[in-house]
């Protein structure tokens, strides 16, 4: 919403669009809000962004997981034009809240995946320390891409041997060496992320992107598994101790054993709990192949 057009970010920011799974409220009376082919919602301080497409009969959300998938697809395509001497380590850092389908898609690209503790400072640290090109985006759209020393050395080597590169590799080199100028590596920056994603989509459109609707093709890179999140009030949240990346409960050990038993009974399911960092509640995340099973798994975890 523009200045003077409704309250700031009321029912239209990135968090609203991502969590409510619906298009933003348009406060401009001249805006036709029935159809948006390609839109983006930012949060108040512009460090998060999600993309969407909407019509009266359909809403497509392209969240942080989908942004990371698109970026990795693009990077993998560009790196593929170079010889085996390109040993750059491309990877993605996710949290336990990343949808399991996104993790499976990334591993099949192939891209290395690491799971880090929830919080931007944790995923940023892993991306910086473990990868030459480290991508991280939380589901809420907060993220960026980091480039390590090996990346810049690779660019220098390619420029020194530019005459021996193929035409495709020459174009790819031009694209790769421009990325650090587009991307804000210091922090999540919704405006630079918007420019980067838009540039990728423009290039994919030139390549026909499987000869279809570019937004629908982006969305169809993978299909999210149904999931449910909820929280349970507890007398003392410190009783629950998690492992380093918060995917398993170390104490009480019986809790993790019961969660494992519940997951085993459902195909392709997973579930974890983690204590809040600010209040006496335990957060529950459940994921399964159907909405009914995800809800069932979450209910079991709540009762535990």
What mean pLDDT is predicted for residues 265-293? 93
pLDDT score recorded for residue 199: 94
- Share of residues in the chain with pLDDT > 70 (%): 94
Lowest average pLDDT, out of 12-16, 37-41, 53-57, goes to: 53-57
pLDDT score recorded for residue 209: 55
CA pair distance 117, 167, nearest whole angstrom? 42
What mean pLDDT is predicted for residues 73-85? 88
Burial of 162 (0-12, 13-18, 19+ CB in 10 A): exposed
What mean pLDDT is predicted for residues 30-46? 78
CA pair distance 258, 304, nearest whole angstrom? 8
Cα pseudo-dihedral 230, 21, 141, 38, rounded to 10: 170
Burial of 23 (0-12, 13-18, 19+ CB in 10 A): buried
Residues listed for the chain: 304
**CA 259 distance to own-chain centroid:** 26
Neighbours of 292 (CB within 10 A): 10
pLDDT score recorded for residue 64: 95
Share in percent of the chain as helix, strand, coil (round to 5): 40, 20, 35
Alpha helices in the chain (DSSP H): 14-20, 64-79, 100-108, 120-130, 149-160, 167-182, 190-206, 214-219, 253-264, 291-303
pTM of the model: 0.91
Do 14 and 63 form a contact (C-beta atoms < 8 A)?
A: no
pLDDT score recorded for residue 155: 95
Pairing verdict, β 90-94 and 133-137: parallel
**CA 276 distance to own-chain centroid:** 21
Average pLDDT of the residues of the chain? 90
Between residues 243 and 6, the one the model is more confident about: 243
**Residue 212 scores a pLDDT above 60:** no
**Residue 7 scores a pLDDT above 90:** no
What mean pLDDT is predicted for residues 97-115? 96
**Residue 211 scores a pLDDT above 70:** no
What mean pLDDT is predicted for residues 143-168? 95
Joined tokens for residue 230 = 């909820």
pLDDT score recorded for residue 154: 95
Condensed to tens digits (0 to 9), the pLDDT of residues 46-57 reads: 999 999 988 777
What mean pLDDT is predicted for residues 81-93? 87
Between residues 57 and 101, the one the model is more confident about: 101
What mean pLDDT is predicted for residues 109-136? 95
- 32 falls in which pLDDT band (50, 70, 90)? low
pLDDT score recorded for residue 58: 85
């Amino acid at each position: 919403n523009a200045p003077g057009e409704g309250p700031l970010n009321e029912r239209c920011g990135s968090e609203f669009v991502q969590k409510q799974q619906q298009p933003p409220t348009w406060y401009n009376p001249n805006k036709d809000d029935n159809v948006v082919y390609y839109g983006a919602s930012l949060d108040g301080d512009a460090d998060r962004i999600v993309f969407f497409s909407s019509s009266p009969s359909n809403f497509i959300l392209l969240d942080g997981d989908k942004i990371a998938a698109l970026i990795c697809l693009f990077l993998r395509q560009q790196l593929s034009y170079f010889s085996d001497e390109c040993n750059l380590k491309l990877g993605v850092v996710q949290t336990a809240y990343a949808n399991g389908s996104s993790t499976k898609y990334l591993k099949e690209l192939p891209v290395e995946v690491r799971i880090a503790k929830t919080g931007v400072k944790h995923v940023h640290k892993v991306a910086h320390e473990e990868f030459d090109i480290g991508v991280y985006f939380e589901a809420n759209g907060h993220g960026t891409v980091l480039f390590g020393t090996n990346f810049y050395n690779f660019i220098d080597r390619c420029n020194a041997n530019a005459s021996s590169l193929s035409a495709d590799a020459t174009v790819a080199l031009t694209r790769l060496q421009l990325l650090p100028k587009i991307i804000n590596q210091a922090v999540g920056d919704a405006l630079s992320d918007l420019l980067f994603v838009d540039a990728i989509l423009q290039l994919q459109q030139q390549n026909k992107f499987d000869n279809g609707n570019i937004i629908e093709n982006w969305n169809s890179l993978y299909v999210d598994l149904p999931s449910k999140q909820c929280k349970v009030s507890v007398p003392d949240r410190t009783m629950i101790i998690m492992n380093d990346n918060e995917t398993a409960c170390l104490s009480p050990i019986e809790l993790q054993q019961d969660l494992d038993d519940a997951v085993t009974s459902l195909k392709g399911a997973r579930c974890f709990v983690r204590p809040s960092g600010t209040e006496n509640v335990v957060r529950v995340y459940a994921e399964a192949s159907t909405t009914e099973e995800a809800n069932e798994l979450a209910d079991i975890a709540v009762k535990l």
